[in-house]
Amino acid sequence: MDSAQIIVVGGGAAGMMAAGQAARQGAHVLLLEKMERLGKKIAISGKGRCNLTNEAIDLIKHYPGNGRFLHSVLREFDNVELRRFFAEHGVATKAERGGRVFPVSDDAEVVVKAMEQFLRQSGVQIELKCPVEQVLTHEGKICGVHTARGRKAAAAVIVCTGGASYPGTGSTGDGYRFARELGHQVVTPRPSLVPLRTAETWVSELQGLSLRNVEASLWCGGRKLASEFGEMLFTHFGVSGPIILTLSRVAGDALQQGEQVALHIDLKPALTAEQVDLRLQRDFQQFSNKQFKNSLNDLLPQSLIPVVVRLSGINPEQVVHQITREERKRLVKLVKELTLAVVGTLPLATAIVTAGGVEVKEIDPKTMASRRIQGLYWAGEVVDVDGVTGGYNLQAAFAMGYRAGRAAARQVVAAV
């Protein structure tokens, strides 16, 4: 039977960081990855450019899912430390709009290669195509894992199997099963950072239309649940783009509770309704002899005009100077509050990140150690922590891996 002091399950962001850090502290580490290569999800992250962290000063507030749990790990390994780590391993980084940090090369593969080199230099033993099937315990303590290639013994196991989105990258939710088998509670995994489906079919006419500087807000009954300012996109099934992805977590949770959720899009958030009305009056004066359908070119993107004209209920052929005050008010409302009924999210498999996971109350935030089983550690997306878009999820995975690797090494090295 193979053995190591520490076995790390899963070679993604968290697992590679955990394995390398543990080995640097002098532990004999075996990293088991079920796919044919390491870091498949990193390689596709950030549209192939890998948005590996964010320059934000207050990182914690960008994690709607249990941000406070990360307090300790992010104090030790924050965005500055992460950039320093990658600089030391040959990956220079740059910051873009919204504080998003990318490799200067704009190539996610350099991040994977740097991590692979870090593992080699640290002396981590790696086995690819080696899925772990079960985490083994003896008298409440970790004793190893069972894999497709037989049993492997270890005094500590760090589970870094990721979430359950994009299963083609290897993260198929195995860690949730391990957690339940080991007596941990798992908060129901659900999609976060995922496009939204809408009841309105006219969205398909706008497929590909991207709106910048709009404000989207989610409403449930008369209550505003959340709102975001920035960029969104229409798709054939509904809406997507950065601000929609950020809102999707709240929308998904409300839908799951059986609530009716509406999305209001303010196409001109810099203007009040009165200012939009004045603007329309000016435009209508300028185009007073044109047909209504040809009068909105200065106000709205071209492809949106036919939809807004139809939703306004105003005859498209009507000459502009004949438009009544009432009709104009309806138009103002559409511009300030274009409303869509949200009927669902796209499935978990298509989400950028999984919300839910191993219950954080059962993990020591200072060490990432299980409070249930001695020698068991959790790190990365498998834990019930999730962030918004902008590099926060990789930052969290690297930081949790960093802490778990060091803590596990302290445990096993001290025991020798």
Ligand X SMILES: Cc1cc2nc3c(=O)[nH]c(=O)nc-3n(C[C@H](O)[C@H](O)[C@H](O)COP(=O)(O)OP(=O)(O)OC[C@H]3O[C@@H](n4cnc5c(N)ncnc54)[C@H](O)[C@@H]3O)c2cc1C
- In whole angstroms, give the CA distance from residue 106 to residue 125: 29
Residue 251 or 394 having the CB closest to ligand X: 394
Site of interaction with ligand X (CB under 6 A): 9-15, 32-35, 40-42, 44-46, 50-51, 131-132, 160-162, 165-166, 169-171, 174, 352-353, 380-381, 391-394, 397
Residue 308 or 363 having the CB closest to ligand X: 363
In angstroms, what is the minimal distance from the CB of 367 to ligand X? Answer: 17
Residue 51 or 367 having the CB closest to ligand X: 51
Residue 40 or 293 having the CB closest to ligand X: 40
In angstroms, what is the minimal distance from the CB of 142 to ligand X? Answer: 16
In angstroms, what is the minimal distance from the CB of 336 to ligand X? Answer: 32
In angstroms, what is the minimal distance from the CB of 192 to ligand X? Answer: 10
Residue 33 or 277 having the CB closest to ligand X: 33
Residue 4 CA, chain-centre distance (Å), reads 33
Helix (H) or strand (E) holding 79: helix 79-88
Residue 146 or 282 having the CB closest to ligand X: 146
Strands (E), 193-260: 196-198, 210-220, 223-234, 238-240
Count how many residues are written for the chain.
416
User: What radius of gyration, in Å, describes the C-alpha atoms of the chain?
Assistant: 25
Residue 289 burial (C-beta neighbours within 10 Å; 0-12, 13-18, 19+): exposed
Residue 17 CA, chain-centre distance (Å), reads 19
Buried b (16+ CB within 10 A) or exposed e, 318-331: bebeebeeeebeeb
Residue 46 or 344 having the CB closest to ligand X: 46
Instruction: Tokens for 156, please give them.
Output: 């500590």
In angstroms, what is the minimal distance from the CB of 50 to ligand X? Answer: 6
Q: Of 50, 36, 52, 355, which is closest to residue 170 (Cα–Cα)?
A: 36
User: Looking at the DSSP assignment, which residues form a beta bridge with residue 363?
Assistant: 370
Query: Which residues are within 8 A (CB) of 215 and not within 5 positions of it... i.e. 6 or more apart?
Result: 227, 228, 229, 265, 266, 269
Strand order in the sheet with 363-364: 125-127, 29-32, 6-9, 156-159, 376-378, 369-370, 363-364
Task: Measure Cα distances from 268 to 50, 94, 201, 216, 386 in Å.
Answer: 32, 32, 23, 11, 31
Residue 176 or 287 having the CB closest to ligand X: 176
Residue 400: how many CA atoms within 13 Å on its side-chain side?
34
In angstroms, what is the minimal distance from the CB of 238 to ligand X? Answer: 18
In angstroms, what is the minimal distance from the CB of 45 to ligand X? Answer: 3
In angstroms, what is the minimal distance from the CB of 252 to ligand X? Answer: 16
In angstroms, what is the minimal distance from the CB of 389 to ligand X? Answer: 7
Residue 51 or 295 having the CB closest to ligand X: 51
Query: Which residues are within 8 A (CB) of 326 and not within 5 positions of it... i.e. 6 or more apart?
Result: none
Is there a contact between 232 and 216 (Cβ–Cβ < 8 Å)? Answer: yes
Residue 155 or 358 having the CB closest to ligand X: 358
In angstroms, what is the minimal distance from the CB of 317 to ligand X? Answer: 45
Instruction: Tokens for 285, please give them.
Output: 């004066």
Is there a contact between 249 and 355 (Cβ–Cβ < 8 Å)? Answer: yes
- In whole angstroms, give the CA distance from residue 72 to residue 402: 12
In angstroms, what is the minimal distance from the CB of 162 to ligand X? Answer: 2
Residue 172 or 217 having the CB closest to ligand X: 172
